[in-house]
Structure 1
Amino acid sequence: MNQVPRKWRPRMALVVLVVCASLLAVPVVALLALQIGTNWFMRETESALIKQAAIYAGVYAHAFEEVGSDAPIPGYYLPPDKRVFWNAQTRTFTSFLDLRVNSIEPTRPDATPSDKTLDARHWQIAGELEKLEDRASRTTLSGVVFLDFQGLDLLAATPMSFAGVPEVETALRGGVGAALRWRSDADARWSLLSIARGAGFRVLIAYPVISANRVIGAIYMSRTPPQLESYFSREGAAFVTLVGVTFLGALVIGTFLVQVVLRPLLALRNQARLVAKGDAADLLPLRHYGMAEIAELGDAVLTMARTLSRRSKEIGIYTNHVTHELKSPVTAIVGAAELLEEGDLSAQTQHDLATTIREQGERMGRLLDQLREMTRAHQHKSGEPGRLADMVPLEAEVAFTLTDGDAILPLSLIHGRTILSHMAQNAFHHGADRLVLTWDGRTLAVCDNGRGFGDVDLARIGEPFFTTRRDEGGTGLGLAIVVAILDLYGATLRPVPGQGGARFEIVFPPA
């Protein structure tokens, strides 16, 4: 018999654990997604700073040009490619920063004292720019420093220069400088923890101020991008609710799977093992099957257990009875053979002994044939319904009378003929020469005109090897074969005591 291949398969408990762990991982995955979103927050901040710096730069250049002066315009003169870019009707900028590419630089260096001074025009517009910065920063929440073409802070009390900062150098040469910098030394020392929190760095943008194709200054802006802390401060309750609902869902699903799937399957496994050991005689239905499919499986297990138990008992009964039934003819055959071997017997005695051997051999043959027929009856499946008139055996010892020959019985033609054949043989051996068949839609009554049941134990009729004709060569398997076939259809054979012959009723289950 083929066995299930042995290989690793996950147990149901592991499946339940994985399902629950997957549900519990939802908040963690959501948090990781938010951390990935930090890069998006940073880029949005960078874009917003560039737009704000463009506005500041426009106001700065306009104010510078409004002052008016005969002195030449100071600052770096743009090369041709940059002149084309800054003089275009529209300008677009791609992102300069990417957390996956750019490293986070040290904190922004402080401005250093300088021996340079602001020229008169820058000095004159510093006050207006300071007012603009004060009003706008309340909304933009961005830090802004106005620089001249030398990198000097226009609003510093004394000359202070940012010219040595890389992003500022880029802006004073006509480009847009961008950088990611830690907010403090503590953030730099605990960089991994800071990134894990999604906090600790700022976005810095240095934007050139252009007038007459010269860089007359720069706008140096900075801002911390929206971080996970701020997100959780706004959505903390929702996140806690998500975690709680997910945990509760995992608990409910885990409990459901354990109660509805795991425990019934384990119980069915234990029952199947009892069936395999042959200890399934007293199996009872489980108190709880969980699901309809498992209930069907449980019913199949109990049916299999009952069938195996019945078959086991039948095999035991058949073995004992066959041994007993075959013992008598075998003994008679062996005895007759021994007498024949002794010789010096009359012709009549030899004839009688040969007759005994032949009759006992025929009896053994009938017994074995009926045993094979009963085995086939157990193994064959039920068939399609057939017409009662077509089930009457063509060669029978008794005559059949049908009250309704067109009746359709829930029996196959082959099984119907087998049943009626054995019923006819049983009636003939009990002195009958006629069988009357009556069908009422559920019960087939079979009545004969023989000797009837007499003092026979009606409860044993149909039991294998039970016969009242043992001395006449009866095997007690005829009605047993009928019962075995009817079992396939869920029908029963019921003897009904009465006067004037035997009456059997074959009762079929409701359609």
Structure 2
Amino acid sequence: MFAAVGVAGFMLTLAGLAFVRVYDNQLIRQTESELIAQGAVIAEVFRDRLRDAEPPDTFGRERTAPWPFPIPDDTRLRPILPSLRAADAPLPAGDTPKASRVPAEPLSQAAGQRLTPLLEQVRAATLAGIRVVDTEGVVVASSSAALLGATLADRLEVQRALRGEPVSVLRRRYAEPEDTPLASLSRDTGIRVSVALPVLEGDRVWGAVVLTRTPMTFAKATYADRWNLTATGFVLLGVVALMSLAAGALVGRPLRALMRQTRAIAASDPAGFEPVARPVVAELAELSESLAGMATALRDRNQYIRSFAANVSHEFKTPLASIQGAVELLRDSADAMTPEQRARFLANVDADARRLTRLVQRLLELARADSMTATSARTEVAPVLDALATRVRAEGVSNLQVSAPPSGLKVALPQEVLDDVLWQLVTNARQHGGEDVQLHLAVEQEDETSTVRVLVRDTGRGISEANRARIFDAFFTTARERGGTGLGLTISQSMLRAFGARLELLPATDVGTTFAVVAPLPRLQRK
């Protein structure tokens, strides 16, 4: 959302700058178009005045420049299009026209004298400076009588117009002391638009019309329309204010809800473990969900640590109390005890010490299992099952059956993890089922879920319904008198979880118990 606001702000700024530039272009072209329209009429009037004088066929000069604008199929049309832009480099302002050393052409001068009063009236209405020059660039008619007889032959636009080409240029204009900054329509402008149009009679050029005027600037156009723009600005300001309030509500409300959620998390309030309802902004929704997930994970971890610490304390307390009691009896009554009694107490101390040693070792194994990180290991199932069967039979267990898995079948587990988990399941089956229990290892491949299930079945007496719900709890065991710690399945589950696998207790059957190691297939073997 914030990126969108930034982009929108950039685009609005860019659009505003572009608008100002386009508007400046439009103001200049509007002035150019008006001068072209005036010049075209004046050129026709001047040509008609010369026609009345019946000049010879050789009058004027031959047209040498091509028409710079596209000519329609109708050859009677000769369009003149505005072409100036605000970005065009302006020409120097030019010196004040001086008296020509060459006398004006007589026919042109006579036609111009009749045209000068009309140009003065046009200037009063349009504020444009209008000059009509003969074929040598001498002013023969002007909206300002003081310029009659002066020469404009040194002007670039006049030279090109006398070759038969209509030309528009920008010329610099320097501020004058009497300029007013905003109220004047044509002053305090840094440039002038100059348009020069040829007076054509067939392929002959009889003279040119030169018109100049300062265009209205963007600032002056804004000043001229200030009241409408002010009203529009207030409307836009109100719209922006409403949008800002709406954006503040959309962002501020979920932010405040997010702050309440963090305070609830700090106070262990259940409300902090639920994401913010209707956060509107996607990033805030994601942040709220992450906070809720983190708080839930920390709460679960804290409960696990507390429960784990309580269980460890309980598991350590019993053998330590037994050892302490035996030591006190031996210290206080050792002389009165028979050798058999002392041996029994020492045996109890040794058994409890060994139990503590096994417990510490299993706790270290659990810590290593919890800290395992996933790798890209791949293990072929068949060799692991064959090695496990050989190891079991080496310990004198003959009632083990192994179903051969598909050739080349692999799982995304390290070999030692798969071997340790299966050995734990086999050991549990022997501990709880006795030496005569029958074991069966099998493999099932689930193509739809891209997983492999390695099954360990036994024919023991099974697990009661009450114990099935607690079978994976840490320190839960029914073989504590035989040295069980209740951590074997917990360690196995932790090792598998690090690699995206899991240990499952399948539904009870009439005989025995079935565990399944559910492991993912390597990516290359998935369909």
On whether the aligned pair clears a TM of 0.5, the verdict is yes
Could you say if the C-alpha distance between residues 414 and 206 of structure 1 is closer, same or farther in structure 2, counting changes exceeding 3 Å?
closer
- The percent of aligned pairs where both chains have the same amino acid is 24
Q: Distance in 2 between matches of 1:38 and 1:341?
A: 111
Which residue does the alignment assign to 2:480? 470
1:402-442: CA deviation from partner (whole Å, max 9, x where unpaired): 45232547562323222222222222222423322233435
Measure, in 1, the Cα distance between the counterparts of 2:341 and 2:316: 24
Whole-angstrom CA distance in 1 between matches of 2:185 and 2:317:
95
Partners of 2:262 and 2:285 in 1: CA distance: 14
Counterpart in the other structure of 1:21:
9
Residue-by-residue CA offset, 1:146-168 (whole Å, 9 max, x unaligned): 4799x987589xxx74249xxx9
> Partner of 2:442 in structure 1?
438
Q: Counterparts of 1:104-115 in structure 2 under 5 Å?
A: none
Deviation of the 1:31 alpha carbon: 2.3
Once the two structures are superposed, the pairs formed by residues 285-324 of structure 1 within 5 Å of their partners are: 304-324=294-314
Contact 2:27–2:217 (8 Å) recurs in 1 = no
- Partner secondary structure for residue 346 of structure 2: helix
User: Is residue 390 of structure 1 aligned with residue 384 of structure 2?
Assistant: yes
**Cα distance in 2, alignment partners of residues 181 and 226 from structure 1:** 13
1:190 aligns with 2:190: no
> For residues 368 and 278 of structure 1, do their structure 2 counterparts lie closer, same or farther at Cα, with a shift above 3 Å needed?
farther
C-alpha spacing 1:257/1:491, structure 2 compared with 1 (3 Å) = farther
Q: Is the 8 A contact 2:404 2:442 kept in 1?
A: no
The 5 Å alignment of 1:171-320 reads 171=152, 188-191=179-182, 203=193, 221-223=211-213, 225=215, 283-284=273-274, 304-320=294-310
Contact 2:378 2:410 in 1 (8 A): no
SS in 1 for 2:352: helix
CA contact (8 A) 2:273 2:293 kept: no
* Contact kept in structure 2, 1:432 and 1:451, CA below 8 Å: no
SS at match of 1:171: coil
Q: Is the 8 A contact 1:463 1:480 kept in 2?
A: yes
- The aligned amino acid for 2:482 is E
Matches of 1:248 and 1:437, distance apart in 2: 74
C-alpha distance 371-131 of structure 1, shift in aligned 2 (>3 A): same
Provide the rounded CA distance (Å) in 1 between the counterparts of 2:416 and 2:254. Answer: 41
The one-letter code matched in structure 2 to 1:376 is R
Shift of the 275–486 alpha-carbon distance from structure 1 to 2, 3 Å rule, reads: farther
Return closer, same or farther for 1:421/1:179 CA change in 2, 3 Å cut-off.
Answer: closer
- In the alignment, which residue of structure 1 is the partner of 2:431? 429
Shift of 1:180: 6.3
Q: Could you list the per-position Cα deviations for residues 246-286 of structure 1 after superposition, in whole angstroms to 9, with x for gaps in the alignment?
A: x999x99x999997x99889978876786677667973466
Within the candidate set 505, 511, 525, 1:494 is matched to 505
User: Which residue, 349, 354, 369 being the options, matches 2:346?
Assistant: 354
Distance in 2 (alpha carbons) for counterparts of 1:468 and 1:487: 25
Contact 2:133 2:141 in 1 (8 A): yes
1:327 offset after TM fit, Å? 0.8
Q: For the structure 1 residues 204 and 282, does the alpha-carbon distance in structure 2 shift closer, same or farther, using more than 3 Å as the test?
A: closer
Matched to 2:442, the amino acid is: T
1:405 maps to 2:404 = yes
Q: For residues 390 and 208 of structure 1, do their structure 2 counterparts lie closer, same or farther at Cα, with a shift above 3 Å needed?
A: closer
Would you say 1:334 and 2:324 are equivalent positions? yes
Gaps in structure 1 of 5+ consecutive residues: 1-11, 69-85, 109-117, 210-216, 232-243
- Structure 2 counterpart SS, 1:189: coil
Aligned mates of 2:55, 2:91 — CA distance in 1: 41
Match of 2:78 in 1: none
Structure 2 equivalent of residue 37 of structure 1: 25
Label 1:422 to 1:263 Cα distance change in 2 as closer, same or farther (>3 A): farther
1:124 aligns with 2:118: no
Distance 2:190 2:262 in 1: 63
Q: Distance in 2 between matches of 1:264 and 1:400?
A: 65
1:162 is paired with a residue of what secondary structure?
helix
Is residue 445–residue 503 contact of structure 1 (8 Å, CA) maintained in 2? no
Matched, 1:376 2:380: no
- The alpha-carbon distance between structure 1 residues 45 and 31, as it changes in their structure 2 partners (threshold 3 A), is same
1:401 is aligned with what amino acid? Answer: L
Q: 1:426 to 1:338 in 2, by over 3 A?
A: same
Tell me, in whole angstroms, the C-alpha distance in 2 between the residues paired with 1:444 and 1:181: 93
| Aligned CA distance change for structure 1 residues 331 and 44 (closer, same or farther; 3 Å) | same
The change in CA–CA distance for 1:66 and 1:411 in structure 2 (over 3 A counts) is closer
Contact in 2 for aligned 1:432/1:449 (Cα 8 Å): no
Shift of 1:503: 0.6
| Conserved? CA contact 1:386–1:411, under 8 Å | no
Cα pair distance change 1:194/1:55, threshold 3 Å: closer
58-67 or 380-389, which deviates more: 58-67
CA, structure 1 residues 483+281, in 2 after alignment: closer, same or farther (shift >3 Å)? Answer: farther
Equivalence for 2:417 = 415
Aligned-pair CA distance for 1:28: 1.9
Name the amino acid aligned to 1:432: G
Distance 1:477 1:131 in 2: 116
Displacement after TM superposition at 1:320 (Å): 0.1
Match of 1:458 in 2: 468
Instruction: Say whether the 8 Å CA contact 1:464–1:477 is kept in structure 2.
Output: yes
Unaligned runs of 5+ in 2: 67-83, 97-103, 159-169, 200-206, 223-234, 447-452, 522-527
Instruction: Return the letter of the residue paired with 1:144.
Output: I
Distance 1:352 1:393, change over 3 A: farther
Letter in 1 for 2:318: S
1 or 2 for the larger relative contact order (CA 8 Å, sep ≥6)? Answer: 1
Given that 1:370 and 1:477 are in contact with CA atoms closer than 8 Å, whether structure 2 keeps it comes out as yes
1:9 maps to none
**Contact 1:493–1:505 under 8 Å retained in 2:** yes
TM-score scaled to structure 2, two decimals? 0.58
Residue 162 of structure 2 is matched in structure 1 by none
Give the Cα separation in 2 of the matches to 1:271 and 1:409.
Answer: 46
State the SS of the aligned residue for 2:441.
strand
Seen in structure 2, the aligned counterparts of structure 1 residues 301 and 334 have a Cα distance that, compared at 3 Å, is same
> Residues of 1 paired with 2:329 and 2:402: CA distance?
56
Q: What per-residue deviation string (whole Å, max 9, x for no partner) do you get for residues 272-313 of structure 1?
A: 786677667973466668899998887766655544333222
Deviation, structure 1 residue 477: 1.5
Q: Work out the number of aligned pairs and report it.
A: 440
Task: Give 1:66 shift.
Answer: 8.2
Match of 1:325 in 2: 315
**Counterpart residue identity of residue 162, structure 1:** A
Give the match's secondary structure for 1:474.
coil
Cα shift readout 1:66-123 (whole Å, capped 9, x = no counterpart): 879xxxxxxxxxxxxxxxxx999779xxx9x999989999xx9xxxxxxxxx997666
